[in-house]
């Protein structure tokens, strides 16, 4: 018999509401437990199956020593005999359930439940309307919208569908560092046969996925997800179980960062540049720019949290020989400026290198035109990743997952006035080339977190 407690540990990760959908097999049959009441009426017959239901304790405001009661009554006939199945399911709430935020109703007989009654230790009772149509041999839970069917009757823990992310060479050490990585976006490709899939990580947390762009194979779909906590296996990989028909759609809204743009549509960049370059992005399409006035602005977005903290990461494919012509220099790649405050990722003069310029001058205080993190000879016509974190008066800059520099500056009054970052700049000094996978974060990302984020982006490329 499957153990419901072991299954819920592997499956719980969402906020629950009262509409239930099934997840996996849980228990075996349970037979009649009542006494016969004559030849016309028999009670508790029918060898009914049972189910497992996992419920968030705060849905019913449960406290330790509360008594949960669900009553099931079913009347059926077979020939001249009337069968009545009656059952009152009782569960005492313990402290461990309240602390974990979930209570397990194990071996709950199948059937339709309309009410749950909660009686406190002091004898106060309240009834709560529910609508549970329980099927035997299944495990149930609910999502925050109440409409999430986790699996098409397949037991996730018995599934042979799995996917493994192996850290690329040079980043294997991240599996052994003394650091807990949380809320890390990642990308992967799954077989196109999967419909609305999600993942179960090694801790049993459900990881939602959102399809984005296209993989390099027609037989695959590319997805983005966010791990609540990264769990490495003994060999350093990150393993998931794939659960089919897990989400309402392939396009879940997942907060991968404070702002994310995969730059795969036609909103950013120019059509003439797309036709000119005709190259794949990091995953699927990218935004392509030429010397025309085709720069873009990320509207209605404030990149700095509390005017002090921000992380940005993006991919670029630029060739120094294709940039703006004679007399033009310091081409802007990514920038966000308000008067003398902000940042600019720019071409270094007319070279094939780029750097980060930070301006923090306001009311006569703060550095101005301070440059950091020169990445040499990266305007070479290949894809590169540039990322940086500004944390109050410090900055860390990364190129292709490696730390370029960690430095400090006078941040003055901060960056609260900065908004609406821009890709490229006005013609004729606009960038010529591609941009892809633009991410902004809250600036709390550690050095190893940034390296892991980069490694997870290239693991399957």
* Tokens 């003439």 belong to residue: 272
Residue 451 in any domain: the answer is no
Same domain membership, residue 305 and residue 214: no
**Are 430 and 424 a contacting pair, CB within 8 Å?**
yes
pLDDT of residue 175: 95
Same domain membership, residue 239 and residue 385: no
pLDDT digits (tens, 9 = 90+) for 244-269: 777 777 888 899 999 999 998 778 88
- In the chain, how many H helices and how many E strands? 4, 29
Contacts of 86 (CB under 8 A, 6+ apart): 34, 43, 44, 71, 72, 73, 74
Same domain membership, residue 181 and residue 99: no
CATH value at residue 374: 2.60.120.200
**Dihedral angle computed from the Cα positions of residues 303, 308, 313 and 319, in that order, rounded to the nearest 10 degrees:** 90
Same domain membership, residue 14 and residue 136: yes
Residue 449 in any domain: the answer is no
> If you average pLDDT over each of 87-96, 136-145, 246-255, 381-390, which comes out highest?
381-390
Residue 460 in any domain: the answer is no
Q: How many Å apart are CA 268 and CA 262, to the nearest integer? A: 10
pLDDT digits (tens, 9 = 90+) for 318-340: 988 787 665 567 888 999 999 99
Domain boundary residue among 99, 129, 155?
A: 155
pLDDT of residue 42: 38
Domain hosting 229: range is 162-243
Residue 182 in any domain: the answer is yes
Residue 461 in any domain: the answer is no
Q: What is the mean pLDDT of residues 303-319?
A: 96
Residue 322 in any domain: the answer is yes
Candidate from 100-109, 135-144, 153-162 with smallest mean pLDDT: 153-162
Q: How many Å apart are CA 410 and CA 405, to the nearest integer? A: 16
Residue 150 in any domain: the answer is yes
Beta bridge partners of 90: 69
Same domain membership, residue 136 and residue 231: no
Same domain membership, residue 388 and residue 300: yes
> pTM above the 0.95 mark?
no
Same domain membership, residue 15 and residue 41: yes
Whether 291 has a pLDDT exceeding 70, the answer reads yes
Q: How many domains does the chain have?
A: 3
Categorize the per-residue pLDDT at 392 as very low, low, confident or very high, splitting at 50, 70 and 90: very high
Whether 146 has a pLDDT exceeding 60, the answer reads no
Same domain membership, residue 413 and residue 292: yes
Same domain membership, residue 193 and residue 45: no
pLDDT of residue 83: 66
Same domain membership, residue 355 and residue 265: yes
Candidate from 51-55, 81-85, 117-121, 328-332 with smallest mean pLDDT: 81-85
Same domain membership, residue 342 and residue 217: no
Categorize the per-residue pLDDT at 29 as very low, low, confident or very high, splitting at 50, 70 and 90: very low
Residue 450 in any domain: the answer is no
Which one, of 224, 232, 276, 230, lies nearest residue 254 by Cα?
224
Same domain membership, residue 312 and residue 407: yes
Domain boundary residue among 155, 179, 204?
A: 155
Whether 153 has a pLDDT exceeding 60, the answer reads no
Domain boundary residue among 243, 271, 291?
A: 243
Helix residue ranges per DSSP H, 258-417? 271-277
């Amino acid at each position: 018999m499957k153990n419901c407690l072991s299954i819920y540990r592997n499956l719980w990760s969402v906020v629950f509401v009262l509409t239930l959908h099934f997840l996996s097999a849980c228990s075996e049959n349970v037979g009649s437990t009542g006494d016969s009441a004559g030849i016309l009426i028999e009670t508790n017959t029918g060898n009914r199956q049972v189910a497992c239901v996992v419920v968030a304790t705060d849905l019913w405001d449960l406290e330790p020593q509360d008594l949960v009661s669900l009553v099931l009554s079913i009347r059926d006939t077979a020939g001249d005999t009337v069968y009545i199945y009656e059952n009152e399911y009782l569960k005492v709430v313990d402290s461990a359930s309240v602390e974990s935020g979930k209570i397990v109703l194990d071996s709950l007989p199948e059937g339709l439940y309309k009410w749950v009654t909660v009686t406190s230790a002091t004898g106060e009772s309240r009834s709560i309307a529910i609508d549970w149509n329980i099927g035997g041999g299944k495990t149930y839970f609910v999502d925050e919208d109440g409409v999430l069917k986790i699996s098409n009757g397949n037991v996730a823990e018995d599934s042979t569908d799995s996917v493994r992310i192996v850290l690329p060479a040079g980043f294997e050490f991240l599996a052994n560092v003394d650091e807990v990585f949380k809320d890390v976006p990642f990308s992967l490709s799954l077989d196109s046969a999967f419909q609305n899939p999600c993942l179960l990580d090694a801790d049993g947390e459900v990881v939602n996925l959102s399809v984005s762009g296209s993989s390099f194979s027609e037989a695959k779909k590319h997805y983005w997800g966010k791990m609540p906590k990264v769990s490495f296996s003994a060999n350093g990989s990150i393993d998931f179980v794939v659960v089919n028909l897990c989400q309402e759609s392939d396009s879940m809204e997942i907060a991968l960062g404070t702002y994310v743009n995969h730059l795969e549509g036609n909103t950013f960049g120019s059509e003439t540049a797309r036709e000119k370059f005709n190259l794949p992005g990091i995953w699927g399409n990218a935004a392509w720019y030429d010397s025309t006035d085709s720069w873009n602005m990320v509207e209605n977005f404030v990149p700095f949290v509390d005017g002090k903290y921000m992380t940005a990461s993006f991919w670029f494919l630029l060739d120094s020989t294709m940039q703006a012509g004679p007399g033009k220099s310091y081409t802007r790649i990514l920038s966000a400026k308000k008067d003398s405050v902000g940042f600019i990722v720019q071409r270094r003069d007319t070279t094939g290198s780029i750097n980060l310029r930070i301006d923090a001058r306001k009311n006569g205080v703060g550095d101005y035109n301070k440059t950091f993190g020169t990445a040499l000879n990266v305007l070479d016509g290949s894809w590169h990743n540039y990322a940086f974190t500004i944390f109050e008066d410090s900055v860390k800059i990364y190129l292709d997952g490696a730390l370029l520099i960690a430095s400090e500056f006078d941040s003055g009054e901060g960056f609260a006035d900065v908004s609406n970052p821009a890709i490229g700049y006005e013609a004729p000094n606009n960038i010529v080339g591609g941009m892809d996978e633009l991410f902004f974060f809250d600036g709390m990302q550690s050095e190893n977190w940034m390296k892991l984020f980069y490694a997870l982006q290239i693991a399957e490329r």
